Structure 1
Amino acid sequence: MTITADQPPRPIAAAPHPRAATGGVRIRDPRLDFYRGMAMFFIFIAHTPGNVFNSWIPARFGFSDATEIFVFCSGMASAIAFGAVFDRAGWRLGTVRVGHRVWQIYWAHLGLFLACATFLAALDQTGAFDTVYIGTLNLWKFFQDDPGPLLVGLMTLTYVPNYFDILPMYLAILLMLPIVMALARLHPAAAGGFVVVLWLLAQSQLWSWGGLGLPAEPWSDRRWFFNPFAWQLIFFTGFALMRGWLPTPPVRTWLVLVAAAIVVAFALMSDVAIREAGQTWARDWRGDNPLWVSKSNFGILRYLHFLALAYLAWVIAGPGGRALNGPDLPVAWRRFVAVVTKVGQQSLAVFLFSMFWARVTGFGLDQVGRDFGTVALANAIGFALMIALAYGVGWIKGQPWKAPRP
C-alpha cells in the first residue's frame, strides 16, 4: 500500500535528487511492513488447496490482490535498501548490490521448487493415496523418464511452472533496477518513460508479434504467468514514490471519495459480485475484455484498483502510521500490528515457507476433510508457524552469538 511520510507530504528516505546521497540511518516506515505482512497471510490462504476462506479474501472484491501489495511494497523497500547504495557508493556498486539480491532470489526459487516437488513425489511414492500429488502442480513432465531438459529449463528459468512464478518475476524486475537508476541520473522522467513503454510493449493483445514476454516451458509457447515486463510498472511506482520521483498524493476529501468510488465500482464487477449477486454481465465483460484486467500482463484496471486501495489504506493509517500503532491505541491492537509487521519484515523467508506449507496443509486437509472447523484450524496453524518463523529469522539476523555474555 502507499506508504509515504507525514504532512507536509514528503517521501521517507527519498533523495531530493537522484544523485544526492541520503546519508544517515535508513528509515523504515512501519506501514510498509504492516501491509506486506498482511499480504503474506492472504498469499498463504490463496495457495492452500481447497481453502474455503480463499473465496472471501480482499482479492475477491476487486481486480488487484495480494500480489500487487507484495510487488509494490517490494519496490518501496528496494528504494530504501538499494537506492541508498546507489546514492552512497555509485551506480557500479549499486548494481553489484542488486546482483547479490538477484542471486539470493534465484536460489530461493530453486529451493522452493525442489522442496515442493520432493514433498509431492514422496507422497506419491508411498502408494497410499488416491490422488497423484505431482499432478496437483502439473509437474507430470518434470518426472518423466528424461528430466534432463527440464532440469536445464529450471536452472535457466525457461521452465517456470505457474505455482512457482512470483519469485522469477521479482528477480527479473530487480534486473531492470540498474537501468532505471541510470536513466534517473538523466532525469526521473526518463526512468518513468522507460517503465511505461516497457509496460505497453508487454501488452500482448496490442501487438501482432505478441508483445514482450518470457517462455515458461520448452514444449509449448506458454509464457511466464507473471510477465515481469508488465509487473515492473507497480514495482517502480512504489520505488518512485519512496525515492521522491513521484509526489506524495495529498489528503483531500475529493480524492478519498474518488478512490472509494473506484473501489465500490470495481467491487460490482468482482468475483464476489459474480458469484453471490449473479452479475453475469460482469463475467461476460471481463471475458470479452481481458486486456483491461489481465493478471499476467497487469491490466490497467488492476493498477487503477490497487492505487485507489493504496490511497485509502494510507489515509486510514494516518500520518506516520499512528492509526496503526499509535501509543493511544489499545494494547491488544498494537500487539497485533507488531506481529503482522514482524511478518512483513521477514517477507522472503515467510513467503518461501508459506508456499511450501500450503501444499502440506492441502495434503492434511485431504486426509481430515474440509469442513469449516478443520480449514479454520489449518489456517490458524499456518499463521502461527509463519509468525514463529518471522520472529526466529529476525532473531537469527540479529546475530545473537555476537552479543557479549552477561
Structure 2
Amino acid sequence: MTPQRPPRDLRLDVLRGWLQVSIFIAHAFGAIYFWGIHASWGVSDSSEQFVLLSGLALGSVFTLKRVRDGFGAALRDLGGRIRRLYLTHLVVFVLFAAMVFWAQMAVPLPGVVEATGWGWLVREPWLAIPGTLSLLYQPAFMDILPLFVLCMVLLAPFLWLLERLGDWALLAPFGLYGAAQILGLMPHGLGGRELGFDPLAWQVLFLLGAWLGRRALLGASPLPRHPALFATALLVLLAGLWVKLGHYGWMVPAPALLDEFSQKPSLGPLRLVHALALAWLVAVLVPREAPWMHGALPRALAVIGRHSLHVFCLGLFLSWGVAMALSLHPAGAWWLELALIPLGAAALAGFAATLERRRQPSRRMARAG
C-alpha cells in the first residue's frame, strides 16, 4: 500500500517556531530573556531539536517520494534540496561578511572582524573562499547550515540501508557517533576556527529523526509510554538541571564527568540523551491538536515554524545586531534588551507572515492545476 502524506502536525509547526525564537534569543547574548528558554535549564538547547526535527521531516519526505516515484526521483528531489541549502549558506555567508566589515568601519566596532573569525577572509581570500565552498571555514554564526548540508548528504545512503537491514541500520549512525566520542574524530576547521558542530557526532540526531519520520510514514506503532521511560527521561532532565545550576553557583557543582559529557561541539553523551529525553516527553505529552494551539501567539509561532529556514537566516542578522548593540551600550543593556528582543521576534513573525501570504496563492494555483 502506498503511504499517504500525513496531515500537517500543528504541534510541530508551533514547536519549530518556538525553537526559532529561542535561537534568536540565545544568539543575542542577552541576560534577561535568556532565562525563558530551555537552554538556561538544561545541557541541550534548540539546536538539537532543530536537527532532530529536520531529519524527521526530510526522512518522511524522502520515503514518500521513494515509494511513490522510485529511488531516483527521491534522490533528485533531495539533491535539489541540498543544492538550495548550500547556495543559501553561501548567500548568507557573503551578506553576513558584508555586515561585519561595514560594522567595523562605520559603527565603528574596531577589531570585530578578527574577533568573530572573519579575518582570514581579509588576509587570505584566495584560501578563505575555497574554504568557504568546502564548508570548513566557519566564522561566528556560520556553523549550523553546513551541518545540515552534510547531514542531508548522508540521508539517502542511510535510508537505502534501512530498506535492506531494517532497524539494524541504526548501528551505522550510532557507531559513527561512538567512534567520534571515543577517538575524538572531528574534521578540522579552516582559518583558525574550530567547527561549531562535529558532523560525525551530530549526524546521529539527524538520522535518528529520519528513522522516526520514515517509521511514522509507514504506519509503525507510536512511541512507547512505559512508566520506566518517564522516570528515566525525568532523571536525565534533572541531571542536566544539576549541571546548569552548578554553573550558576546555585548548588553544588555536578561531577566533572557530567560537564565533559555535555559538550556542544562534540554532542556529548549527556547532551544527546538530554535532547532525546526532552523530545520524547514533548512527543508523548503534547497532543497533536489542542485548543491553545489556535491562540494568536501559537498561530504566529506556527507560521514561523513553517518558514524555519528563511526565518533562521534573518534571525542570524537580527541577533548579531542586537548583540552588538548590547556590547556597545553595556550601561543600558537591560533596557535595550527589553526593547530589542521583542522587536526582533516581531520582525521574525512579520517576515514569516509575509512569506505565508506569498505562498498561499501559489498553493491555490497548484491545486487548481
1:265-276 to 2 correspondences below 5 Å? 265-270=239-244, 272-276=245-249
Residue 387 of structure 1 deviates from its aligned partner by 0.3
Contact 1:112 1:356 in 2 (8 A): no
2:281 counterpart of 1:312: yes
Q: CA separation in 1, counterparts of 2:363 and 2:225? A: 46
Instruction: Look up the match of 2:231.
Output: 257
Instruction: Look up the match of 2:105.
Output: 125
2:207 counterpart of 1:236: yes
Q: CA separation in 2, counterparts of 1:131 and 1:51? A: 24
Instruction: Look up the match of 1:172.
Output: 150
Q: Deviations over 1:45-88 (max 9, x none)?
A: 11114454335531121111100110011111112322211221
Q: Deviations over 1:373-402 (max 9, x none)?
A: 320211101100000111111222234597
Q: CA separation in 1, counterparts of 2:200 and 2:6? A: 29
Residue 324 of structure 1 deviates from its aligned partner by 4.7
Contact 2:242 2:253 in 1 (8 A): no
Instruction: Look up the match of 2:23.
Output: 43
Instruction: Look up the match of 1:277.
Output: 250
Instruction: Look up the match of 1:149.
Output: 127
Residue 131 of structure 1 deviates from its aligned partner by 3.6
Instruction: Look up the match of 2:49.
Output: 69
Q: Deviations over 1:122-172 (max 9, x none)?
A: 12222x53543323412122222x311101111122312242110000110
Long gaps (5+) in structure 2: none
Contact 2:55 2:206 in 1 (8 A): yes
Contact 2:326 2:336 in 1 (8 A): yes
Higher helix share: 2
Instruction: Look up the match of 1:59.
Output: 39
Of 71, 90, 115, 1:91 maps to 71
Amino acid across the alignment from 1:164: M
Amino acid across the alignment from 1:262: V
- Report the secondary structure of 1:293's partner residue: coil
Q: Deviations over 1:224-256 (max 9, x none)?
A: 221122111111222222221775323344433
Contact 2:155 2:210 in 1 (8 A): no
Contact 2:20 2:311 in 1 (8 A): yes
Instruction: Name the CA shift for 1:107/1:393 in 2 (closer, same or farther; >3 Å).
Output: same
154-163 vs 171-180, greater mean Cα deviation: 154-163
Of 80, 85, 98, 1:100 maps to 80
Instruction: Look up the match of 2:289.
Output: 321
Amino acid across the alignment from 1:138: G
Amino acid across the alignment from 1:160: Q
Cα RMSD between the aligned structures? 2.5
Q: CA separation in 2, counterparts of 1:37 and 1:159? A: 28
Residue 281 of structure 1 deviates from its aligned partner by 4.4
Amino acid across the alignment from 1:362: A
1:360-375 to 2 correspondences below 5 Å? 360-369=321-330, 370-375=332-337
Contact 1:47 1:355 in 2 (8 A): yes
Contact 1:353 1:386 in 2 (8 A): yes
Residue 182 of structure 1 deviates from its aligned partner by 1.1
Q: CA separation in 1, counterparts of 2:221 and 2:171? A: 16
Instruction: Look up the match of 2:2.
Output: 21
Instruction: Name the CA shift for 1:378/1:269 in 2 (closer, same or farther; >3 Å).
Output: same
Q: CA separation in 1, counterparts of 2:364 and 2:246? A: 55
Contact 1:58 1:65 in 2 (8 A): yes
Q: CA separation in 2, counterparts of 1:273 and 1:227? A: 26
Contact 2:243 2:253 in 1 (8 A): no
Instruction: Look up the match of 1:109.
Output: 89
Instruction: Look up the match of 2:264.
Output: 295
Instruction: Look up the match of 1:379.
Output: 341
Long gaps (5+) in structure 1: 1-19, 326-332
Contact 2:27 2:319 in 1 (8 A): yes
- Report the secondary structure of 2:243's partner residue: coil
The number of equivalent residue pairs is 362
